[in-house]
Structure 1
């Protein structure tokens, strides 16, 4: 780990690395718990009443096992995409060097986070469209996942990655002139 803990910034980054680990583990557990509860509900129909986070999709499963499966798939995929974003954040925080922060690895990971957040937005929009259709078909609301935030974050992180890339260019120009 290259984070220097002597400075205030180094301590903050170390703390953020711990937070990133917690978020990563939390979203992995959420995805795994959703998969497990889905498999249990396939064996026992009553299991659909007591999914992870007190979700009750029993009526949806009775309406259509296919739509039930698709909805669970979206929820699992969203949890795993969020976990992957936090994994990439952990990689950035563990690789960052405060004396020379502008590295291609950091810029590329930031750009990758932007792309993964954009994909997360696409999955979230797809899930929202499916949930809206289900609400019209069944009269029950099955999701209220926020969508716009992922697109906003994707844009913001992508802009930051481009600033990092420009910082790398300036840094390499300065190294060549010295």
Structure 2
């Protein structure tokens, strides 16, 4: 492998760790802020995480507020799990013979996490549409939900890659048997 490729892969590994840690912190801050807004101080709903203001929704209905926070937190956790799978690939890949069952299973997991993120994102967007139609200001919400259609497309691509990987594993095993 060339020196540039090695450098780029190391850089991607570091970026994956940074994004993973950031998403874990975001999920934790969402849960802590939710707990504060529910049990300690209602003003906590004004800034749940990174400017997310769901105070109007909480004033309207606590159950809807709880469902929305649950959906956003679930999306963030699945995004963190997606990046954790990427980190696991970097830790377990063997560049001499990269087609290994463990890597194929991790790519399939990534596809599943992307599918779940896409589904939860689209459900949350549909659910929040009811409140924006009522005139509630949920402007920062789309930054925290993500783009579900993009994750659904990504899940399809990853599934296709996992199937190619499975074929590569099969061919690699055949080559090992013929030697």
TM-score (norm 1): 0.92
* DSSP-derived class of the 1:171 partner: helix
* DSSP-derived class of the 1:52 partner: coil
How has the CA–CA distance of structure 1 residues 141 and 147 changed in structure 2, closer, same or farther, with 3 Å as cutoff?
Answer: farther
**Partner residue of 1:77 out of 74, 79, 96:** 74
CA RMSD of aligned residues (A): 1.4
1:50 equivalent to 2:47? Answer yes
1:98 equivalent to 2:95? Answer yes
Q: Which residue of structure 2 lines up, in the alignment, with residue 66 of structure 1?
A: 63
Give the drift of 1:135: 1.8
Aligned residues: 173
Q: Could you list the per-position Cα deviations for residues 53-108 of structure 1 after superposition, in whole angstroms to 9, with x for gaps in the alignment?
A: 11111111110000001111111111110000000100001111111100000011
**Partner residue of 1:12 out of 8, 13, 16:** 8
* DSSP-derived class of the 1:53 partner: coil
Ranges of 4+ aligned residues in structure 1 off by more than 6 Å: none
Give the drift of 1:9: 2.5
TM-score (norm 2): 0.91
> Which ranges in structure 1 are unaligned for 5 or more consecutive residues?
none
How has the CA–CA distance of structure 1 residues 109 and 146 changed in structure 2, closer, same or farther, with 3 Å as cutoff?
Answer: same
